[in-house]
Structure 1
Amino acid sequence: MANTSAESGTSSVSAGVPRVFISYAHEADGGVHAERVRALWVLLRSHGIDARLDRSAAERPQDWAAWMQREIEAADYVLTIASPAYKRRAEGWEEPGVGEGVAWEAGLIKDVVYRNPTAWYERILRVVLPEGSREDLPAFLGGHTVTHYTVDPIDSVGAEELLRYLTGQPYETEPALGSRPHLPPRDGRTAAPRGGAIPAGWTFTGQTAVQMGDHNHQTNNFG
């Protein structure tokens, strides 16, 4: 999904400014995980990516359900940050009344996955930060067969693979196609083996050794 500007009529990706929404959960770790998420947010924005996080939105009153929906719908990419609390809340295993915002947000993301089962992973990206694990991503975001991005450390080197994808700058590209080679067929009179050094014009009129598998078979030519 590309975020399209009503004024320009162009997508933010094609304009070189991808819009990204970061979906995460607060852990009971004294704010360590939340600060790592914030560091990722700052890093992305410092590299020209319009990353959105709830931290700045919380500085003013919000209808959080509407805010989450707007951000997910407008985002070119959604980053889901792996953590135990995120997995519990996204899968509905959290205690009642805890992490309701993440549960709501994950439900919106799940709907994106449901409606686009063959290509959702191109837009909904799985991200693992330092000391995190891909096992702490919700099951509806796929298992080990789906790409995840490990950002460790949280700097331009640790995030290079993710930055390259978000900005459309792959490291490995397809080589240009060359011309098809001309490979003449065997003319029936010569029997030069592939990679052999049989002189030009050589013909076999006597015994011919034919190798098949691990067995040598002798073929006699009595002509």
Structure 2
Amino acid sequence: MPVRVLISYSHGDSVHVSKVLQLSNALRKHGIDCWIDLYEPNPPEGWPFWMERQIESADHVLIACSENYLKRWNGLESPGVGHGVAWEAQLIRALLMNHPGQNRKFSPIIFDSGDIAHIPDVLSVYTRYEINTFILENENTFTSLVRHLTDQDLHKPSDLGTVPSLPPLQTIPTSLDGERRASGLLEFGVGPMIQSIHIPVALYRVYAEHFVSNPNQATVFLQDCMNKRLRANPEGFPERSIIVPLIELSQPAMNPHDFWARTISMSGLKGPRTLAALLTNEAAPNVQQLNEQDAKCVSEALALARNPPIR
């Protein structure tokens, strides 16, 4: 079945009526069963019933807004003039009121931008079509209207993909006791983004990840370093905030030696001194408890930290 369309408009302006007729004929040319009262000048059932039947049977009703139309819509025309528009306005208002938020039938159209002000308030919330040509060309407004009437949208949504799995951003409070901090830091997720935290947390987490063979031993090692440093200077270390971009420190292939070297180079002016203070002899791990490969990496890292490169 072809799409059925009715154009509601006001008489009295020959130029306006001519444009309504051109629009109706253009729509019919493109397979849209558009009707106006000019096609049926003497309906046997009378105009009120004809208009009601046309509105009810139409898939779409285009309302050609103009100064005369708005005046008659609002009942402000002279007595005996514009009864047709006034009757149609009552029918349209009733349908909109009885089906709130479900308007798929009524669309305002204008032939001149100045007629935007003549769109009835109840219709101003819907998409309007300013028709200045009756030719399908280059996605003009007439083409947009034809798309709307025939349910052929210009843009179609793409297919839905798969929702990515994204880890939450977690923070580790610096006030945690040693045991809780140790377990929490091992669960602290370092994603592919730049995050900033206190450098003790950064060292603790990333070094534990990249210890050569024994992450648990790395946890003990770093926690021991921090505890000894806290005992030596309880006020100096934990409050000293040195920001480290963790994206550069979380490369899977990085070994402990490279980790310490990169950390030192990225920690800024305070970095080498802070790291050297952290990794003093008193805070060094017992390398005899480590396997040969781990012990070598830790020894090299300690030596590098005690003698940081001058930058």
Equivalent position of 1:43 in the other structure:
26
Equivalent position of 1:128 in the other structure:
110
Letter of the structure 2 residue corresponding to residue 147 of structure 1 = T
Alignment partners' CA distance in 1, 2:67 and 2:192: 65
Structure 1 residues 33 and 197, CA, compared in 2 at 3 Å: closer, same or farther?
Answer: farther
% same residue: 32
Q: Is the helix fraction higher in 1 or 2?
A: 2
Q: Is the strand fraction higher in 1 or 2?
A: 1
Structure 1 residues 168 and 179, CA, compared in 2 at 3 Å: closer, same or farther?
Answer: same
Q: Which has the higher contact order (CA 8 A, sep 6+)?
A: 1
Using the TM superposition, give the Cα deviation of residue 113 of structure 1 relative to its aligned residue in structure 2, in angstroms.
1.1
- Unmatched runs of 5 consecutive residues or more in structure 2: 170-186, 195-245, 280-311
User: What is the aligned length?
Assistant: 194
Question: Please, which moves more after superposition, 53-62 or 181-190?
Answer: 181-190
Using the TM superposition, give the Cα deviation of residue 59 of structure 1 relative to its aligned residue in structure 2, in angstroms.
5.3
Alignment of 1:52 onto 2:35: yes
Alignment partners' CA distance in 1, 2:191 and 2:96: 58
TM-score by length of 2: 0.55
Any conservation in 1 of the 2:107–2:126 contact (CA below 8 Å)? Answer: no
Match of 1:32 among 6, 9, 15: 15
Structure 1 residues 62 and 34, CA, compared in 2 at 3 Å: closer, same or farther?
Answer: farther
Q: Deviations over 1:101-160 (max 9, x none)?
A: 11111111111111112122x21111112455221112222x3x4211121222223411
TM-score by length of 1: 0.75
Matches within 5 A, 1:1-223: 15=1, 17-28=2-13, 31-58=14-41, 63-120=46-103, 122-130=104-112, 133-141=115-123, 143=124, 145-157=125-137, 158-183=141-166, 188=188, 190=190, 193-194=193-194, 199-202=251-254, 222=278
Task: Give the superposed CA RMSD.
Answer: 2.9
SS of corresponding position for 1:176:
coil
Letter of the structure 1 residue corresponding to residue 94 of structure 2 = D
Structure 1 residues 181 and 65, CA, compared in 2 at 3 Å: closer, same or farther?
Answer: same
Structure 1 residues 89 and 192, CA, compared in 2 at 3 Å: closer, same or farther?
Answer: closer
Equivalent position of 2:221 in the other structure:
none
Any conservation in 2 of the 1:43–1:156 contact (CA below 8 Å)? Answer: no
Alignment partners' CA distance in 1, 2:43 and 2:99: 34
Question: Please, which moves more after superposition, 35-44 or 156-165?
Answer: 156-165
Using the TM superposition, give the Cα deviation of residue 61 of structure 1 relative to its aligned residue in structure 2, in angstroms.
5.0
Alignment partners' CA distance in 2, 1:48 and 1:116: 29
Alignment partners' CA distance in 2, 1:90 and 1:189: 65
Alignment partners' CA distance in 2, 1:33 and 1:73: 25
Structure 1 residues 174 and 191, CA, compared in 2 at 3 Å: closer, same or farther?
Answer: closer
Structure with max Cα Rg: 2
Letter of the structure 2 residue corresponding to residue 155 of structure 1 = I
Structure 1 residues 196 and 153, CA, compared in 2 at 3 Å: closer, same or farther?
Answer: farther
Any conservation in 1 of the 2:6–2:60 contact (CA below 8 Å)? Answer: yes
- Unmatched runs of 5 consecutive residues or more in structure 1: 1-14, 210-217
